[in-house]
Structure 1
Amino acid sequence: MIWTAFLLCALFSRTRTSPTPPPSALTSSPCLISSSGLFADCLGQQLDSVPWHQLPTTLETIDLSYNKLTAIHAEDFSQFPNLRVLLLTFNNISHIDDNAFLHNPILENLNIFNNSLHEIPAKALQPLSNLKILFMSNNLYKSAKLAESFANFAKLQVLSLGGHLVMGLKKGDFEPLRNISLQTFAIRCSSNLSYYERGSLEVIQTKQMGFDMAIDTQPNALLDMLGDLANKSFTDVKFRNLFEFTYYTGVEDIFQGLVNVTAHRLIFYRGKFNENLLRMLQTPIKRLRLQYIDFARSPSFSDSGAESSITDLKLDRLDLWYISNPDILRFDWRFTWLNGIRQLSIQHVYLNFAPCDAWLEMRDVEILDVSNNRLRDEYIYNRRCVYKGTLPNLRTFNLTNNELTSLRDLSSLTRYFNRMVVMDVSNNKLGSAAYSSGCIWHQNITRFIAHHNEFVSEALLCLPTTVEYLDLSYCNLDQLEMTFFEKATNLKELLLSGNKIKYIPPSWKSPSLQSLELDGNSFGVITIDSFQEMPLLSSLKGGNNPYHCTCELHAFVENTMSKEKVNLTDWPWNYHCYHPQPLLNTLISKYFPGRVACDIRLVILICVATTAVVIIILMVICYIFDLPWYTKATYQIIRAKYRAYQESTTEGVVLFTYHAFISYSHSDAEWVKEQLLPALEGSKDPYRLCIHERDFMPGKWIIDNIIENIENSRKVIFVLSRNFVNSEWCNYELYFAQQRAMGKSFTDVILVVKEPINPGSLPNKYCKLRKMLSTKTYLEWPQQVNQQAFFWAQLRSVLGRPSPVRSRSFSLRSLSLRSRLRSEENRPLESNGGLIASEYKMHPQTSYEKNAIYSPEKWLSCCFFSLLHNSMYLASHI
């Protein structure tokens, strides 16, 4: 706003000293040139001349403020034909050449505020027909008279002139401005105005009028000034330091001229005032601002009761800002002067109490602003006051930038403000758990602003649940209280920026929420489910959070962008990856994880397919290597072990009852009975042998008999023949012997080859037997009779000397059963562990085959089943 800029920069600075200039932005050039070549910042570089030879000719704006320039020469700006803005404030310029701006015809904004010019540079300004803004106050000229050339500035909108050496104004000083309609006009005169000629300001046409002059010695000059403004309309009329040194104590009402002036707002900035200031109550002024004034009651003021009360002050707005003496609130003890004000703003007055009567008198106040006053809870909420029926028309209550701590006290204060819909308590100390319980709010509050406080999550339960707009930005919230949002069903806009929220719960329900701001928090994960319970959400601001770039986040972004239901207002530049480390500071818009990593359906499909393939491969392998047979055998071992364990608790386990267990096929039974048994059991030192037809315990399971007798024998003799290989039960006996050998040593196994067998022709399930035949010394039964004695000697040597064995007991009644235990060869095992078909035969001779050659397939097959045997044995023992 032009008037605001004028207030801050041009009109009201009383000092002429420049602040300490900032350090240079460049090392090689005194000015900072924009990349476009349109702006040059030379502010505060201690320059004593314009560095025009170091600046590009394309410049449109040059800032040479706060330097040490003393003169402006013709060549300084001649090479800048496109110059539109020239700032020369706070220098020491005392001279400007007449043709200094001859080559700058499109210059629109010239600021030579606060320099040392001894006269208005009319000739230098004459070429500037496009001038719109001209600040040239705070200089050393003694007269404010404008040259006729100013009549050519038809585009002029803002003009400030004068200085502390201008002792007064004469009629005709501003005649060239008669036909120019200004937006802002400001005049500065001496701190001790000596004269003012009526009609000096009559020709001025402006919307904003500013006076910077002191009339301590000429108070009646105000009557003439206001007379020149009669019947004119202004948006603002501002007086600065109207009474700079003394209070006005005259009898005459010097503000009576305001009756004929239509001004939307009247501002008194600085100066000394007393109760006589309010003699203007009959004026049509709608807004009054008292700013930085020194207020005190006159020594002659006496409180004479109702006659001294002011009851007719009708204002749309009253601003009391930076009052050095809060007595302005006490000049009428009955506060009746407040009962006609609609908007009351009291700022930087630092009140330490709010009288009970004041609340009662503010019956017409609709907007009450008491921000920036260091108010504490006990200052604003007096428990001795009755607030019921007060402020019946209040709609907006502003308490920002104070020292309030209790939400409970605020709810008690405003409980009876029946029409209040907006409350602003930002920049306080609210939100602690100790003072945020038991709150009872009026049900009309729809807008609650509480940013820059210190909220804990429990304090959310102390907020009004009728709000539609809630601002809790920068409140150090670390988590959200979902109970509040479930109750705040009307909430449409929620601001939570700049907090420390670490987690966005997926159960966050807010059915009416339309706009949500979550930027600058501490959460790293949001998913598609995070805002599913907010069906009306259309605007989301969630940047500047430490996001974990995961599939869930990618899915949320993809879903949001594709549906276009929710607008990410700060996308994409404020969304970066924080985790994992390789993606640090990567834009989330450039994060594209693999489809397999994120699509759970695809992962399941791949897993199922892979598992199916593996199962099929395993089934094929099992079929090729006859794994079901080994599984079945292992199951039988485990069952037998379990039954043996149960029986051992009562019967015990008999070990080494036999010197050897004889495993043979039924077809070889004749050789076993006629050759093997007589040779070993009929010798001088007989061996105790176990054969199934004679020594199996009647009544036991066949599998149990096989396992028990193999384990109770020191050695196991296998009578190998083609019939043995084809016998199912011999296969079991061989397998169980192998499992027994794993726990001991393969030296317990004795192989007797009754007839030649090719190891390569054995089935896969005889992998261990093939290996033993290829690498282990075995006995071969000789067909020549003269070699058979040597065979028996070798066998006895392998068996060793007969050691003492435990006695055995069995019933002869079992013989008939045992004779049926091994039936015809190649008969399969019954489901109930049924009969065995096996017979045995034998012949002697040693044979060695240590260099057998196997194909790779047979070798792998052998290794596989060797590993499988070991695993099953360990499993059976565990």
Structure 2
Amino acid sequence: MEVKITLSGKGNGSTYPRLSFFLCILLYFWVLFNPVNGYSMKHCRIRESLNVSVLCDGRNLNAVPADIPLLVTSVNIAKNNISQIKSEDFKDLKFLKMLIMYSNRISHVENGSFSDLVALEQLNLAFNKLTSLSDQMFKGLDNLTVLQLENNHISSIASSSFQLLFSLKVLNLTSNKLHCFKELKHILQLPSLLKLFIGNNSLNSLQSQEISNRSIGLTELDLSRNPLEIFSVTADIFPYLKKLDLSFCGINGSMEWDVADRYFLSNVSSLDLSGIHMSLQGIGSVLQSINFSLASLGLDKIGKDNLINVACHIPTLKTLRLQCNNFSSVSDKLLQSCTQVTDLDISGNNITDLSEAAFRSIKDLKTLRLGYDGLSSVPNATRNLRTLKNLDLSHNIIKTLGCSDFSNLKRLEKLYLNNNLISNLEGCVFLDLRALNSLTLRRNRILNLGEAFTKGLQHLKSLDLGFNKLTNIRTNYFKSLRSLEDLALYDNEIKTLEDGAFVGLAKLKNLVLLNNVIGKSEIRGAVFKGLRSLKTLNMASNAIKYEKDEQLQQPPFTDLSSLENLYIFSQHYTKYMRQSCLPSNFLEGLNMLSEFQAGNLHIAYLHPDTFIHTPQLLSLDISQNFFHALSPELFHPIPKLKRLTISKTELESLDFLIEANLTQVRFLKVRQNKIKWTNETVLHSLPALTLLDMQRNPFICDCRNAWFVQWAESNSQTQVAYAHDYPCSYPDDLKDTKLLDLDTHSCSVDLGIFYFISTTSLVLLTLLGSFIYHLLRWQVVYAYYLFLAYLHDSKRRNRQTPHQYDAFVSYNTHDECWVVRELLPELEGEQGWKLCLHHRDFQPGKPIIENITDAIYRSRKTICVITHRYLQSEWCSREIQVASFRLFDEQKDVMILVFLEEIPDHQLSPYHRMRRLVKRRTYLSWPRAGEDTRVFWQKLQVALETRDWPAEENPILTGVERQ
């Protein structure tokens, strides 16, 4: 709980004591009775970044957790066993914006369960067992914009269920048991609804006269997989509809299409008729009804070749999808009328015969998808498609690539050849692909790259060669790929990396060598030479192992000055090597490294100098190794570390963290170690810690962990992830209990009486302080600074320090103009005195009060320039208090009062000594406008000339006496 009260203004005399008393009483009850708002949840964990999120997914929960923090903005309770939502489950969660509860067993939601969720924007109840939606189910969700109810058993919806969802934009009711479109009438009238998904229900008709007599704001409507027999639109109720999905609708070809006016659906730009159960004539009627703005058409699994000609006569059509239509052959006439199409997808048709002129009539084709078609070679039909930018030939049975396969495809930008049977690449294959920036050859049988990438492809940015049969990367393999940024060589059989293997890749940012058989001898500086832009290097799951105490003559990464992420985890383990090690200079050269993952390397020791070359390291994972202990010195070179993971090792203690100086670590994961207890000092050495994960450690449930139990439940900064699940391993009689169930009362003395006495004393002191501040604050402040002056005077007397200045000028900043223009030129310029001014002579960095005291005691005199603003100034008051103390203490004439304004006696009452001084002594007054100032300056000069005479015997020579 945080109490924040801001006071402005001075307040009057009656208000302030009452406010002080109220604050004291509030503080008293807060200290006594306010329970600590802990950061530990019993079954969930909290993720805090810009927003606070609670993650409870996959925890086998039977009910909504009762300890959800009130300030949470996102809650994920998916994949549990919750069967009902109760009215108090989400009480007071007024900041919650996202609630995810899919894949539970929810069959009942009590009315008003969401009424407190006034800020909720997204609600996901998909994959549950809801059968109906009641009137009050969504009460209070005025700001809800997305509601997901797909894959339930909803068969009835109350007429007012959605009545108050004024902000709802997206509603998904796919895969339920809705029967009548008339039941959705009230949903369609929602003012903000843009997208409605009601596919795979039991809707048998859509008739506009039953739905609405006015326009509906929908832009997207999904009716797919419904047994629609009638689609009738006799009024312009869908004027904004842009996307309509009717795929797999109808039964036995009986769907009736009735759109009275072709303009009623004139804004539909995307239409999906895949697998629709309609006659050829009926589909033709559909296409004739939507031919004004149709840009994308899906005709998958139609099986009617003659429909293509009808579709392609739509002048605005750009994207045509013809997947899985069993076109075993594509003649030059099949697509003859599709001259305006730019995106064509004929994947999954098992094409065995593709005419060389099949796409010749499509003059502006940009994207062509021929995946899953059983092609054994690159078809001649794809050649000379000069406008083509994207070509997908994936998931075929292509074995070889010829030099002319991609001839004249000079504008091609993306080429997908993954999941084929290609084993060899000729050097001439990609020479014509001058604009290619992405090439995917994943999951082939490539044994050798030859000279495929030594010429051409100068604009290629991404190359994926994963899951092939490469065994070595030779020198200059990629020398022509000067623009390459991403290179993937994962899951090959690479064993050898020759020197200069990546020469030419000056712009490479990401290199993935994951899951090969690369050994330690293959990672050398000469291999990675020239990769000055590399940001991420992934060499996990290889065979990199070093013998104990091995020192590298040539560290492998010295040229990778820009590398930020290095992954070398999970190197292959052999039965002949029980343990490996990491050389102390292994990371030399990686000055910019921010993330290092070195888990499962079979190492038992890390040299203290391991990270001396990586001062920017932010994230470190050294899990699944054989550490029994770690040296604090290991972490001294990486003070910026924020995330530390040491899970699944053999650590028995976290004491090394005490001297590790990890003041910025926010996430600490030490799962599955041998830690039995931890102490206060360890966790206090991590002041920035926000997440601590110590699951599956053998905790001892006795008083040694009493402090940790209390801390885990009550601290408001660090979340102990799933702390309520930590089991007791000792003593034997507590093995079936949890650590946080430990009774800690017997581990400490009853401090209740001490708490009572201390809080009572606090209240009394606060009341006393409030009283003194209101009535005697000036006297207290005055006494305090007199005491400081007394101490300073005693020191000065002992030291007998000579005077450095003739006078110290005490003035308010609002009077600085008079001091600079009048006083300073006369006294320093004309009369030759040496003055001390705070804006000029105070020592920077020194406390102000010390500067004031030093200035007064280093000067023979103190000139106080008195105005109304001077008396109101806190620092001017302190200056005159110190000066007056010196005057009365030393009994010397050291103080000169100069009044620029008339000050009544009652305004001098807070300054008791000044009032006494003014009453019994003379002072100087600045002449009024028009009066001669020469007499004033002469009198001031005489006052400054007086030396160490007793103050009572040397009054100021001129002035007006005050009675």
Normalised to the residue count of structure 2, the TM-score between the two structures is 0.46
Letter in 1 for 2:429: Y
CA distance in 1, matches of 2:650, 2:126: 53
Q: Which residue of 2 aligns with 1:788?
A: none
Q: Which residue of 1 aligns with 2:366?
A: 316
Q: Which residue of 2 aligns with 1:475?
A: 515
CA distance in 2, matches of 1:449, 1:51: 52
Q: Which residue of 1 aligns with 2:920?
A: none
Q: Which residue of 1 aligns with 2:468?
A: 429
CA distance in 1, matches of 2:214, 2:490: 49
Would you say the 8 A contact 2:451–2:477 is kept in 1? yes
Q: Which residue of 2 aligns with 1:186?
A: 222
Provide closer, same or farther for how the CA distance between residues 464 and 113 of structure 1 changes in structure 2, counting only shifts above 3 A. Answer: same
Would you say the 8 A contact 2:179–2:202 is kept in 1? yes
Alignment of 1:419-498 (within 5 A): 419-433=458-472, 439=477, 441-454=479-492, 456=494, 458-461=496-499, 463-467=501-505, 468-469=507-508, 470-476=510-516, 477-479=518-520, 480-482=522-524, 484-485=526-527, 487-488=529-530, 491-498=533-540
CA distance in 1, matches of 2:228, 2:647: 66
CA distance in 2, matches of 1:579, 1:463: 36
Provide closer, same or farther for how the CA distance between residues 499 and 445 of structure 1 changes in structure 2, counting only shifts above 3 A. Answer: farther
66-75 or 441-450: which moved more? Answer: 66-75
Q: Which residue of 1 aligns with 2:641?
A: 571
Provide closer, same or farther for how the CA distance between residues 415 and 299 of structure 1 changes in structure 2, counting only shifts above 3 A. Answer: closer
CA distance in 2, matches of 1:328, 1:251: 34
Provide closer, same or farther for how the CA distance between residues 50 and 449 of structure 1 changes in structure 2, counting only shifts above 3 A. Answer: same
Alignment of 1:402-421 (within 5 A): 402-406=443-447, 408-409=448-449, 411-421=450-460
Query: 1:246-302 CA distances to partner (integer Å, 9 max, x unpaired)?
Result: 9x6999697677764264x65566654658548639755555566666544489989
Would you say the 8 A contact 1:495–1:518 is kept in 2? yes
Report deviation, 1:493: 3.1
Report deviation, 1:471: 1.1
2:200 matches 1:158: no
Provide closer, same or farther for how the CA distance between residues 446 and 36 of structure 1 changes in structure 2, counting only shifts above 3 A. Answer: same
Q: Which residue of 2 aligns with 1:744?
A: none
Provide closer, same or farther for how the CA distance between residues 273 and 223 of structure 1 changes in structure 2, counting only shifts above 3 A. Answer: farther
* Larger-Rg structure: 1
Alignment of 1:193-592 (within 5 A): 193-197=229-233, 202-206=238-242, 209-214=244-249, 217=253, 221=257, 228-230=264-266, 237=270, 239=272, 241-243=274-276, 260-261=292-293, 263=295, 272=303, 274=305, 277=308, 280=312, 284=316, 295-297=327-329, 309-320=359-370, 323=372, 325-326=373-374, 334-335=381-382, 338-349=385-396, 351=398, 358-360=405-407, 362-371=409-418, 373-378=419-424, 381=425, 387=429, 389-400=431-442, 402-406=443-447, 408-409=448-449, 411-433=450-472, 439=477, 441-454=479-492, 456=494, 458-461=496-499, 463-467=501-505, 468-469=507-508, 470-476=510-516, 477-479=518-520, 480-482=522-524, 484-485=526-527, 487-488=529-530, 491-500=533-542, 501-502=544-545, 506-508=554-556, 511=559, 513-521=561-569, 525=582, 530-532=587-589, 538-545=592-599, 548-553=605-610, 555-556=612-613, 571-574=641-644, 590=660
Would you say the 8 A contact 1:146–1:173 is kept in 2? no
Q: Which residue of 2 aligns with 1:25?
A: 59
CA distance in 2, matches of 1:250, 1:102: 43
Q: Which residue of 2 aligns with 1:58?
A: 93
Report deviation, 1:553: 3.1
CA distance in 2, matches of 1:460, 1:92: 60
CA distance in 1, matches of 2:651, 2:127: 52
Any idea what SS the aligned residue of 2:389 has?
Answer: strand
Letter in 2 for 1:125: F
Query: 1:428-455 CA distances to partner (integer Å, 9 max, x unpaired)?
Result: 134414x857847535352342252245
CA distance in 1, matches of 2:299, 2:154: 29
CA distance in 1, matches of 2:444, 2:406: 20
Alignment of 1:474-873 (within 5 A): 474-476=514-516, 477-479=518-520, 480-482=522-524, 484-485=526-527, 487-488=529-530, 491-500=533-542, 501-502=544-545, 506-508=554-556, 511=559, 513-521=561-569, 525=582, 530-532=587-589, 538-545=592-599, 548-553=605-610, 555-556=612-613, 571-574=641-644, 590=660
Would you say the 8 A contact 2:215–2:237 is kept in 1? no
Would you say the 8 A contact 2:291–2:315 is kept in 1? yes
CA distance in 2, matches of 1:63, 1:305: 51
Would you say the 8 A contact 1:295–1:326 is kept in 2? no
Q: Of 118, 122, 126, which aligns to 2:163? A: 126
Report deviation, 1:123: 1.5
Query: 1:142-182 CA distances to partner (integer Å, 9 max, x unpaired)?
Result: 44357665476334343223544323433356658846365
CA distance in 2, matches of 1:458, 1:214: 56
Would you say the 8 A contact 1:186–1:211 is kept in 2? yes
Query: 1:56-77 CA distances to partner (integer Å, 9 max, x unpaired)?
Result: 5538455554455556553655
Letter in 2 for 1:30: A
Report deviation, 1:126: 0.4
Letter in 2 for 1:343: N
Provide closer, same or farther for how the CA distance between residues 358 and 495 of structure 1 changes in structure 2, counting only shifts above 3 A. Answer: same
Would you say the 8 A contact 1:494–1:517 is kept in 2? yes
Report deviation, 1:342: 0.7
Letter in 1 for 2:610: L
CA distance in 2, matches of 1:93, 1:580: 48
2:153 matches 1:101: no
Would you say the 8 A contact 2:57–2:76 is kept in 1? no
Provide closer, same or farther for how the CA distance between residues 36 and 312 of structure 1 changes in structure 2, counting only shifts above 3 A. Answer: same
Provide closer, same or farther for how the CA distance between residues 89 and 395 of structure 1 changes in structure 2, counting only shifts above 3 A. Answer: closer
Report deviation, 1:397: 0.9
2:125 matches 1:88: yes
Any idea what SS the aligned residue of 1:334 has?
Answer: helix
Identity %: 12
Report deviation, 1:108: 3.8
Q: Which residue of 1 aligns with 2:178?
A: 141
Report deviation, 1:128: 1.8
Query: 1:844-874 CA distances to partner (integer Å, 9 max, x unpaired)?
Result: xxxxxxxxxxxxxxxxxxxxxxxxxxxxxxx
Unaligned 5+ segments in structure 2 are 1-55, 335-352, 547-551, 572-579, 619-636, 663-963
Would you say the 8 A contact 1:210–1:239 is kept in 2? yes
Normalised to the residue count of structure 1, the TM-score between the two structures is 0.50
Report deviation, 1:125: 0.9
Would you say the 8 A contact 1:110–1:134 is kept in 2? yes
Provide closer, same or farther for how the CA distance between residues 166 and 529 of structure 1 changes in structure 2, counting only shifts above 3 A. Answer: closer
Report deviation, 1:495: 1.4
Letter in 1 for 2:411: D
Query: 1:508-545 CA distances to partner (integer Å, 9 max, x unpaired)?
Result: 4665742242234368656579434x7xx534422445
Would you say the 8 A contact 1:448–1:471 is kept in 2? yes
